[in-house]
Amino acid sequence: MKEVYLNRIAKGVVFVLVLMVAGVGSLFGQCPTPGTCTATISTSSSATVNLSAGQYLCITGGTFTGNISGIPGGASIYVASGVNFEPSGMGSIKGTLINCGNALIPNMEVDGNGTPGNAGRIENYGSMNFLAGTGYKGTNFIVNGLNAKMIFTSDQILSGTIINNKGSIRINGGLTTNGANVTINNEDSLTTSGDITLNGRILNSGYMFANGGLMKLNANGTITNGCYFVAQGSFEYNGSSTDPLIVTGFIWAKGAEVKTNGSGLLVLQTGAFIQGNSF
């Protein structure tokens, strides 16, 4: 039997939410200090880069347009602020890519199947635009820093991915997370032009928008919404008693219904709202 604990529900009510985020400026978040550079590219270059485990490449100036054969486990590439990072090829990221500049990323794969501690990792503290397809293997990490911007130009299907977002992530397509080994910790904004289907653990203290359709939350880990879930279409929760949806913020199915299926445990804490044409 479905259990629903409701402290406060608002349905079919016009709701105006004014969002004021203090202290958010136009500047990107502070970049981390690079590690010890074993090689440096300080001017514009179209060179081919072949890294080995343990190497740390620093790109500190100009525009980089060369081919990167891949980033092996234990290797890193650091892109400094002000650099245009536009590789013609990227290969598989089994090590770490840190971007503090302006990055245009071609087709690539983040592969965390390597040595533990060397899992595929992308950290963005500037702007990063993924121009083609992206793939995910093993345990992999995506960090989007304070006020940083990420844009994906295609659907994103996450597997083994842990996302920590303190900036803006925009997906020109849909977002699907596969399994309980996926975690999204969203502290700012995550927007899609398609559906959002979440099959993993979600910690949302920011704003998640499914601008192109529905938002569906399935049971594969606790989902905590402390701020704002919005779906252009319907909002659907298919949970279980062991994988609850905990709401302290606002859920809005614009122009559609809110559905709860199965034996899901829906917990609305004081001050929380759910809004839709029907419930």
Burial profile 193-209: b = 16 or more Cβ within 10 angstroms, e = fewer: bbbbbbbbbbbbebbbb
Q: Return the residue matching tokens 């559906």.
A: 195
pTM of this structure: 0.85
pLDDT score, position 156: 94
pLDDT score, position 117: 55
- Compute the distance between CA of residue 54 and CA of residue 114 in angstroms, rounded to an integer: 14
User: How many alpha carbons lie under 13 Å from residue 267 in its C-beta half-sphere?
Assistant: 15
Contact 94, 68 (CB under 8 A): no
pLDDT score, position 100: 98
The residue range of the domain holding 129 is 37-154
In a domain, 215, yes or no: no
Q: What is the mean pLDDT of each run of 10 residues along the chain (279 residues)?
A: 38 36 46 95 96 95 97 94 96 94 94 69 97 88 96 92 95 89 93 90 90 81 82 83 79 81 73 77
Ramachandran angles phi, psi of 109, nearest 5°: -135, 135
Contact 166, 142 (CB under 8 A): no
The dihedral sign for the CA sequence 105, 106, 112, 117: negative
In a domain, 134, yes or no: yes
Contact 142, 162 (CB under 8 A): yes
Ramachandran angles phi, psi of 35, nearest 5°: -75, -165
**For the purposes of burial, counting CB atoms within 10 Å of the CB of 223, is it exposed (0-12), middle (13-18) or buried (19 or more)?**
buried
In a domain, 10, yes or no: no
Please tell me the total count of domains within the chain: 1
- Compute the distance between CA of residue 194 and CA of residue 114 in angstroms, rounded to an integer: 32
In a domain, 61, yes or no: yes
- Compute the distance between CA of residue 27 and CA of residue 10 in angstroms, rounded to an integer: 37
Facing residues of 58 across strands? 40, 78
In a domain, 57, yes or no: yes
Q: For residue 192, what are its two tokens?
A: 């899609």
In a domain, 41, yes or no: yes
Facing residues of 138 across strands? 112
In a domain, 251, yes or no: no
pLDDT score, position 275: 84
In a domain, 173, yes or no: no
pLDDT score, position 260: 78
